[in-house]
């Protein structure tokens, strides 16, 4: 006779449509923060790697399994399975995809691998009921697959946020915001000042400015080749000789 761990049947919870039952299958931020979730050493690198690998769209969840060095050993992406946030439905979806990409570690006394969840959605980065349902589903799926429950990260149109930690950053691939206020004014001034300086000084650097020539041009010679000489009266001497004859 052999003994092992049989996976739980994939069934729907009783009274799943009951709003009170659904609210019981979600975690508040305070509950999540006190659950001892291990911190990621470099969450930006994890987010960027998963985003580049799966290119998630709205309502897309990415579950990834990390080793001890936070390297991704397996990952899967899928769209949100339920219209109303329900931790039971989310747990079943996560468990199904984990079983497809990696064997369970239920035979280990202590989990050595960690599962993290990146959920792409619209709206702000603050906690929502859907986030609470995903947290509940991730924690339960990790228990049933022999993994440590890791970080839950939301990816909104402009940023990513690790819920329960306060760490976040700009969404991968989004354009950098334009500088505002005094910083933006200084940047714009720095861009336009060199052009005005070049327009004011067209000469190349190192070339001395040209000065106007102060020498007067020599008078033209009269016809006949005689160069007139000026006297005190101002009349040329050649004209006086002509008058005497």
Q: What is the pLDDT of residues 133-171, one digit of tens each?
A: 999 999 999 999 999 999 999 999 999 999 988 899 999
| Residues near 59 by beta carbon (within 8 Å), at least 6 away in sequence | 79, 80, 120, 121
Rounded to an integer, the average pLDDT of 173-185 is 60
Instruction: Indicate the CATH number for domain 20-170.
Output: 3.40.140.10
This prediction's pTM: 0.66
Distance separating alpha carbons of residues 148 and 115, to the nearest angstrom: 6
Query: DSSP per residue over 220-236, as a string?
Result: PPPTTSPPP---TTS--
Distance separating alpha carbons of residues 183 and 119, to the nearest angstrom: 34
Enter the DSSP assignment of 200. H
Distance separating alpha carbons of residues 15 and 224, to the nearest angstrom: 128
Binning pLDDT at 50, 70 and 90, where does residue 12 land?
low
Binning pLDDT at 50, 70 and 90, where does residue 245 land?
very low
Rounded to an integer, the average pLDDT of 85-89 is 92
pLDDT of 211 > 50? The answer is yes
Q: 233 vs 245, which has greater pLDDT?
A: 233
List the single range of 20-24, 144-148, 217-221 with lowest mean pLDDT. Answer: 217-221
Q: 90 vs 235, which has greater pLDDT?
A: 90
What is the model's pLDDT at position 183? 56
What is the percent of the chain with per-residue pLDDT over 70, rounded to a whole number? Answer: 63
What is the model's pLDDT at position 165? 85
What is the model's pLDDT at position 209? 53
């Amino acid at each position: 006779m052999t003994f092992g761990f049989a996976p739980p049947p994939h069934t729907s919870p009783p009274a799943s449509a009951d709003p009170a039952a659904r609210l019981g299958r979600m975690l508040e931020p305070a509950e999540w923060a006190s659950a001892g979730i291990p911190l990621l050493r470099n969450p930006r690198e994890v987010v960027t790697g998963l985003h580049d690998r799966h290119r998630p769209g709205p309502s897309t969840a990415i579950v990834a399994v990390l080793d001890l060095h936070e390297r991704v050993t397996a990952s899967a992406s899928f769209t949100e399975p339920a219209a109303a946030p329900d931790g039971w439905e989310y747990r079943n979806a996560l468990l199904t995809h984990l079983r497809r990409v990696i064997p369970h570690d239920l035979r280990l006394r202590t989990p050595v691998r960690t599962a993290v969840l990146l959920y792409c959605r619209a709206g702000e980065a603050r906690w929502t009921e859907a986030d609470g349902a995903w947290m509940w589903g991730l924690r339960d799926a990790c228990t049933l697959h022999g993994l440590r429950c890791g970080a839950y990260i939301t990816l909104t149109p402009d940023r990513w946020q690790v819920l329960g930690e306060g760490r976040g950053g700009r969404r991968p691939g989004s354009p950098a915001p334009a500088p505002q206020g005094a910083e933006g004014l200084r940047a714009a001034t720095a861009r336009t000042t060199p052009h005005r300086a070049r327009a004011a000084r067209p000469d190349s650097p190192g070339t001395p400015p040209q000065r106007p020539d102060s020498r007067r041009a020599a008078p033209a010679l009269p016809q006949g080749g005689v160069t007139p000489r000026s006297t005190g009266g101002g009349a040329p001497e050649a004209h006086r000789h002509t008058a005497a004859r």
